Amino acid sequence: MALTVQPADGAAVRRAERLSRVRGLLLGLALGDALTRPDQPGSGVLLGTPTTQLACFTAEGLIRALVRSDHRGIGPSPLAIWFAYRRWARAQGIPIPRSIDHSGWLHRVPALRERRGDAPSVVAALKAGRDIAPDPAAPTSGGHHALSPRLPLAAVAAPAGWTAEVVTTTHGDPDAVRATLTAVDLARAALGAPTMPAVLRASTDPVLDDARDLGMPLARLAPDHTAVSALRGGAALAARCPGPEVIADTLYAARELPVPGAVGPLAGALLGAVHGAERLPVELVARLEVAWAVDTLARDLVAQVEDRPGGSEYQQAPDRHWWSRYPGG
């Protein structure tokens, strides 16, 4: 008797594809950050920088903001991400005013408590901050840490004003804010686009005009540590990757640029979002120091958006551990 194969459920297929791409976004960010670190050893564990650490706390803060929204009946607050950065500071041993209590699980990951470099503008904002986010007009930095740590925001349909509020807690330079908004929009487009050129074509920001020119030297697109360099160089580098089989080579090539650490995270995030986690180089992802934490956050972010494991104001939580992992209070 012949067996009848049932067609795949369309919703399940879309869910699996979405999960693959969000995982690719976060893991690609971490991979791009690690492979462009100039002092990275040739073998062994791949260490990240504060870019990856802060991106992890952005994702965690975003999940907690969504949990709080489900239970309080109000929109997700950008302050949840500011408090996440304060938890990062405490885990790092950075003295900040009115230290915040540890909660959730992310602060317990040993690699996220280790100093992996500097994020001076973020640290300065945290040291000067209050229990709530500082005056958005106060921080004026335009460095690339305005951009890369905020890329997890692409996984949700957040308005530009919401994202801008997150950015201006630590970086108030208008060009940096605009570059970050464009980068998040690019990453969001990459989660549904078939190719990187299609992602670039979808953007109307004129700051990317030169990045679309494949003949433009990358060093001219990304000459410094600014968020604008990170946007132009990261987008152009990702667009020049001919296929997923050379993602590693593409990211390694960024080491020749003046500021590889500004360019690598966005390029890796875009390539991971377009191709999915399964197309990232397994032999390198497996060496990432924070791979488990990053992948867990990506999976949990999709679960929160799709399934609401923590329940809501009117529904009991399907996952009894969710609230302790992502307190929304």
Domain residue ranges in the chain: 15-321
User: What pLDDT was estimated at residue 135?
Assistant: 57
How far apart CA 37 and CA 34 sit, in angstroms, is 5
Tokens of residue 11, six digits: 């919703």
3-state helix, strand and coil shares in percent for the chain, rounded to the nearest 5: 60, 0, 35
Query: Can you tell me the distance from the alpha carbon of 306 to that of 51, in angstroms, rounded to the nearest whole number?
Result: 27
- 293 exposure class (CB count in 10 Å sphere: 0-12, 13-18, 19+): buried
307 contacts 67 by C-beta, under 8 angstroms: no
- Backbone φ, ψ for residue 187 (5° rounding): -65, -40
**Are 291 and 301 spatial neighbours (Cβ–Cβ below 8 Å)?**
no
Residue 317 corresponds to which amino acid?
A
Ranges of the chain whose pLDDT falls below 70: 1-2, 130-139, 329
Residue 328: what pLDDT? 79
The answer to whether 224 and 175 have CB atoms below 8 angstroms apart is no
Q: What pLDDT was estimated at residue 128?
A: 85
Does CATH place domain 15-321 in 1.10.4080.10? yes
Q: CA–CA distance from 224 to each of 27, 35, 66, 140, 240 (Å)?
A: 25, 18, 35, 17, 20
- Separation of alpha carbons 235 and 211, rounded Å: 7
